[in-house]
Amino acid sequence: MNLGSGTWLLFEGSHVDPARIWRISTNDRGYVTRRGYRVGTSIAELLRNGEKLGFDYPEGYLVGALVDDEAARRFWARFDYSGDPLKALDHTAQIKQLVIAGNCDAPNR
């Protein structure tokens, strides 16, 4: 769904359960999670709130929340695929794309 002015909201399904939405992504600050997270939230705020951050590296991107380009550049300059990736990520990095995902095998929430 294109929201105009370069903003978008993406709904994705899964081949495992095509009847349900599996993931929602956006680059629009107007959408807020139940815990108050949105595009622009810092990594430091997530950590202060006790969020556990996981990392995956498909196609050279951090997944779950894409961080601002400068923070991503600094991350890849420091990270060598060993140790804790969170230590290489600047905690002032801001989310530029928020991704909310669920497990298709889980009961409805």
pLDDT tens, per residue, the chain with 109 residues: 567 788 888 888 878 888 888 888 899 999 998 889 999 999 999 999 998 887 765 544 444 678 899 999 999 999 988 888 889 999 999 988 887 766 555 554 4
Helix (H, G, I), strand (E, B) or coil at 17: coil
Measured CA to CA, the distance from residue 59 to residue 34 in angstroms comes to: 29
DSSP 8-state assignment for residue 32: -
- Domain residue ranges in the chain: 2-101
Measured CA to CA, the distance from residue 22 to residue 103 in angstroms comes to: 7
What tokens does 18 get? 């095509």
pLDDT value at position 109?
Answer: 44
**What is the per-residue pLDDT across 23-40, written as a single tens digit (0 to 9) for each?**
888 999 999 988 899 999
CB 91 within 8 A of CB 49: no
